[in-house]
């Protein structure tokens, strides 16, 4: 991965303001249209998440490797990932879309929460989902499943490019989640996208006020020059 500027906590705070829908629109203006994860939803409503990706990849489990019932915390990539994440990190797990077992459970999620992680995302399932949802860790998955991960999954690669929910995720990419789902922002675009998305969110708040007041969408959505002039005055009145 090429060297990129470090991101401050203020950037992640800014990215928790716009919706993932707004972010996908801004990203499409950069030619990026495969950024929203398909089928990945929050375990708890009202979830907002923004952080940098720590990636973990699962391959299918194999009985001679994964059915012993023991885990070495010092060598198992999943356990290494759990002890590596910290503030502003989001663990993103490539589970191949397979929901026949949990990608992780509540104890590991709680450990991530204690380490200050921003969240966890999988295109598979989580086990102990109600407890994870109640823990306060932002968590996104395709499903819930009670079986442990190694009945179906074998953790293999850590901090390599992965796929999750049909989207390419590189280590350090910015991951943003809300009640609609999860969007992936290339790290080098994060600041520019954050600023543009917040500006778009404010403009759309103004447009929504006009539409709710009975205005036609003609000349308002998208806004013509007169509407934009009205918007600038509205914006100044709120500063």
CATH number of the domain enclosing 58: 3.50.30.40
Say how many C-beta atoms besides its own lie within 10 A of residue 10's C-beta: 10
Do 210 and 157 fall into the same domain?
no
Q: Are residues 103 and 198 in the same domain?
A: no
> In terms of domains, do 181 and 218 share one?
no
Query: Do both 179 and 66 map to the same domain?
Result: yes
Residue 45 lies in a domain: yes
Q: Are residues 110 and 201 in the same domain?
A: no
**Phi and psi of 85, rounded to 5°?**
-65, 150
pLDDT reported for residue 2: 40
Report yes or no on 202 lying in a domain.
yes
Q: In terms of domains, do 157 and 200 share one?
A: no
Q: Does residue 72 lie in a domain region?
A: yes
CB 144 within 8 A of CB 86: no
1 within a domain of the structure (yes/no): no
Looking at the structure, tell me whether residues 150 and 210 fall in a common domain.
no
Per-residue model confidence (pLDDT) at position 101? 96
**165 assigned to some structural domain:** yes
Pair (197, 165) in one structural domain: no
87 and 202 housed in the same domain:
no
Helix axes 190-212, 225-237, angle to 10 degrees: 100
User: What separation in angstroms does the CA of 125 have from each of 41, 122, 139?
Assistant: 10, 7, 11
Give the number of other Cβ atoms within 10 Å of residue 226's Cβ.
10
Instruction: Specify the pTM.
Output: 0.93
Q: Is residue 115 part of a domain?
A: yes
Q: Is residue 3 part of a domain?
A: no
Q: What is the pLDDT of residue 45?
A: 95
- What pLDDT, on the 0 to 100 scale, is given for residue 5? 56
Distance CA 128, CA 147 (A): 10
Provide the domain limits for residue 170: 9-187
Q: Of 152, 172, 187, at which residue does a domain stop? A: 187
Instruction: Please say whether the dihedral angle defined by the alpha carbons of residues 155, 74, 63 and 109, taken in this order, is positive or negative.
Output: negative
Q: Does some domain include residue 14?
A: yes
The verdict on 142 and 199 lying in the same domain is no
How far apart are the C-alpha atoms of 82 and 28, rounded to whole Å? Answer: 33
Peptide bond into 222 cis (omega under 30): yes
Let me know whether 180 and 94 are in one domain: yes
Same domain, 200 and 153: no
Which ranges of the chain have pLDDT less than 70? 1-5
């Amino acid at each position: 991965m090429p060297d990129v500027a470090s991101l401050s906590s203020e950037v992640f705070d800014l990215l928790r303001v716009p919706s993932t829908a707004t972010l996908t629109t801004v990203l499409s203006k950069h030619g990026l249209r495969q950024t929203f994860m398909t089928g990945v939803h929050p375990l708890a409503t009202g979830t907002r998440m923004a952080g940098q990706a720590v990636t973990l990849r699962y391959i299918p489990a194999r009985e001679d490797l994964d059915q012993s019932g023991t885990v070495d915390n010092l060598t198992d990539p999943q356990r290494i990932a759990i002890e590596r994440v910290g503030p502003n990190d989001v663990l993103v797990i490539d589970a191949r879309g397979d929901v026949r077992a949990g990608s992780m459970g509540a104890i590991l999620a709680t450990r991530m929460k204690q380490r200050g992680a921003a969240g966890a995302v999988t295109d598979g399932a989580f086990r102990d989902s109600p407890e994870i949802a109640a823990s306060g860790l932002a968590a996104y998955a395709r499903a819930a499943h009670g079986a442990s991960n190694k009945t179906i999954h074998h953790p293999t690669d850590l901090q390599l490019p992965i796929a999750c929910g049909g989207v390419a995720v590189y280590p350090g990419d910015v991951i943003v989640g809300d009640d609609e789902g999860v969007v992936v922002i290339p790290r080098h675009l994060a600041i520019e996208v954050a600023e543009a998305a917040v500006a778009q969110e404010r403009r759309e708040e103004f447009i929504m006020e006009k539409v709710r007041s009975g205005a036609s969408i003609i000349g308002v959505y998208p806004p013509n020059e007169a509407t934009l002039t009205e918007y600038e005055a509205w914006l100044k009145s709120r500063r």
